[in-house]
Amino acid sequence: MSLNLLRSRPREPELPGIHARVGVDRRTKALTKRLRPGEIAVIDHEDIDRVSGEALVACRPAAVINASPSVSGRYPNVGPEIIVAAGIPLIDMPGDDLMDRLKDGQQVRLDGAVLHDGGEPLTGTLITAEELAEVMVAAKAGLASQLESFAHNTMEYLIKERELLIDGVGVPEVRTDFEGRHALIVVRGYHYKEDLAVLSHYIREYKPVLVGVDGGADALLETGRNPDVIVGDMDSVSDAALTSGAEIVVHAYRDGKAPGVDRVRELGIEPVIFAATGTSEDIAMLLADDRGASLIAAVGTHATLVEFLDKGRAGMSSTFLTRLRVGSKLVDAKGVSRLYRTRISAWPIVALMVVCVLALFVALSATPAGQTLLQLIGARWDDFWAFIGGLFSPS
């Protein structure tokens, strides 16, 4: 069944009325930074990806209204499933009127899939779990055409950036010392919180260079760690992270334009400029590799084809080639945790407990007060066994 047929079904309101303020932003990741629990999120996000879905759920909105198709059918994106599974109503309301009509903080009423804001009511389509299951089956068939497009974009990127990929031409000098050290690159992506928690012992012992890619710098701050380097276009990183003392590397377009430079300079920081095609996580890996990092551990980055497509941009082909370029050094965060974690059997723990008890006994027996205590414990122990014997002796 096609996606259009599913969306064209008439549907009665299935939700109780919701009176709430709306948070409006065409950029989902910008909205999730300020959206409050109980508000209605209004976004313009075609093919909601996993990271955006998880970020929206974490904000606990009363509902999510999308001005673009939440599932276009290009590929099986899982963001809508995450939102619906969390019990948050997801309503598709395609059209430019929605974003222009609603103002951030405006009070509205949502009756089922009908939005009332004081003007002509707007009617959308409530996305259900059953509908998503059917749509995902059809969307998987679209992977073939997406794969062809992905391959084409990969070749284009290889032609444009062959000198950077092969010889490292264009990688800037930085003051941070990577030579011979591990580099931990943190992207605010898939399961980044869980991975950082698992890697806490690894970070303490190996003290890797901590590289935050845009919002990944804030992820490090949330764990109580200051990033050493922040890489990105600076659109989703906080001022607190930028002023934490980290070296700032601004990702610029190939023509040298870097929208994030002005913001950084307004904070009194002179950044390093890295002009390259591709994503910010790509240039973070290339920077660490070119500057001599002995190992690159990745947290929250993209590793599979579906994850590349889930990012929703043609440039994700650069990530695929970058991983090939630094492949000999690159280790996924979950792989690092499995290699680093020490397994302790039960016998050493039992032996340690026995040693502790013996040490305590020796310490007590070496002092008069301790000897008195041991005598009292011995007397109580004898009384206990005498009582047990009395229970089982013949009357």
Phi-psi label, residue 27: left if phi above 0, alpha if psi -120 to 50, beta otherwise? beta
Q: What is the pLDDT of residues 368-392, one digit of tens each?
A: 776 676 677 766 666 656 656 665 6
Confidence of residue 74 (pLDDT cuts 50, 70, 90): confident
If one compares 128 and 193, the residue with the highest pLDDT of the two is 128
Separation between Cα atoms, residue 60 and residue 211, nearest integer Å: 29
pTM recorded for the entire structure? 0.62
Indicate the range of 93-102, 109-118, 296-305, 359-368 predicted with least confidence. 359-368
Domain 3-140: CATH class, spelled out: alpha beta
If one compares 226 and 152, the residue with the highest pLDDT of the two is 226
Phi-psi label, residue 283: left if phi above 0, alpha if psi -120 to 50, beta otherwise? alpha
Q: What is the pLDDT of residues 294-345, one digit of tens each?
A: 999 989 876 665 655 655 455 556 777 788 788 889 887 765 555 555 455 5
Separation between Cα atoms, residue 39 and residue 62, nearest integer Å: 5
Mean pLDDT (whole number) for 204-227: 94
What's CA 185's distance to the chain center, in Å?
12
Q: Fill in the DSSP letter of residue 16.
A: -
Question: Residue 144 corresponds to which tokens in the numbers above?
Answer: 């073939």
Mean pLDDT (whole number) for 197-221: 92
Among candidate residues 93, 287, 294, the one with its CA nearest the CA of residue 175 = 287
Q: What is the crossing angle of helices 317-325 and 143-160, to 10°? A: 60
Question: Residue 339 corresponds to which tokens in the numbers above?
Answer: 């290699």
Residue whose tokens read 């990530």: 319
What percent of the chain is modeled with pLDDT above 90? Answer: 42
Phi-psi label, residue 346: left if phi above 0, alpha if psi -120 to 50, beta otherwise? alpha
Burial class (CB within 10 angstroms; exposed 0-12, middle 13-18, buried 19+) of 214: buried
Question: Residue 330 corresponds to which tokens in the numbers above?
Answer: 């690159």
Q: Is 33 helix (H, G, I), strand (E, B) or coil?
A: coil
Burial class (CB within 10 angstroms; exposed 0-12, middle 13-18, buried 19+) of 195: buried
Among candidate residues 280, 281, 260, 283, the one with its CA nearest the CA of residue 171 = 283
Separation between Cα atoms, residue 166 and residue 321, nearest integer Å: 11
Q: Select, from the ranges 128-142, 194-208, 345-359, 362-376, the one with the highest average predicted confidence (pLDDT).
A: 194-208
pLDDT of residue 16: 65
Q: Please determine, for residue 14, whether its predicted confidence score (pLDDT) is greater than 50.
A: yes
Q: Please determine, for residue 352, whether its predicted confidence score (pLDDT) is greater than 60.
A: yes
Separation between Cα atoms, residue 66 and residue 24, nearest integer Å: 10
For residue 130, which amino acid is it? E
Separation between Cα atoms, residue 164 and residue 171, nearest integer Å: 7
pLDDT of residue 8: 46
Q: Is 57 helix (H, G, I), strand (E, B) or coil?
A: helix
Q: Is 297 helix (H, G, I), strand (E, B) or coil?
A: strand
If one compares 269 and 254, the residue with the highest pLDDT of the two is 269
Separation between Cα atoms, residue 330 and residue 296, nearest integer Å: 5
Q: Where are the domains of the chain?
A: 3-140, 145-340, 346-381
Q: Phi/psi of residue 164, each to 5°? A: -70, -45
If one compares 1 and 326, the residue with the highest pLDDT of the two is 326
pLDDT of residue 41: 96
pLDDT of residue 110: 93
Mean pLDDT (whole number) for 57-77: 90
Mean pLDDT of the chain: 82
pLDDT of residue 6: 46
Q: Please determine, for residue 210, whether its predicted confidence score (pLDDT) is greater than 70.
A: yes
Indicate the range of 73-77, 238-242, 378-382 predicted with least confidence. 378-382
pLDDT of residue 136: 80
The CB-side HSE value for 380 (13 A sphere, CA atoms) comes to 6
Q: What is the pLDDT of residues 17-56, one digit of tens each?
A: 889 999 999 989 889 989 999 999 999 999 898 888 989 9
pLDDT of residue 1: 40
Confidence of residue 134 (pLDDT cuts 50, 70, 90): confident
Q: Please determine, for residue 227, whether its predicted confidence score (pLDDT) is greater than 80.
A: yes
3-state helix, strand, coil in the chain (%, to 5): 45, 15, 40
Show Cβ contacts of residue 377 under 8 Å, excluding neighbours closer than 6 positions. Answer: none
Work out the end-to-end distance of the chain between its first and last CA atoms, rounded to an integer number of angstroms. Answer: 84
Question: Residue 102 corresponds to which tokens in the numbers above?
Answer: 């609603």
Mean pLDDT (whole number) for 55-61: 94
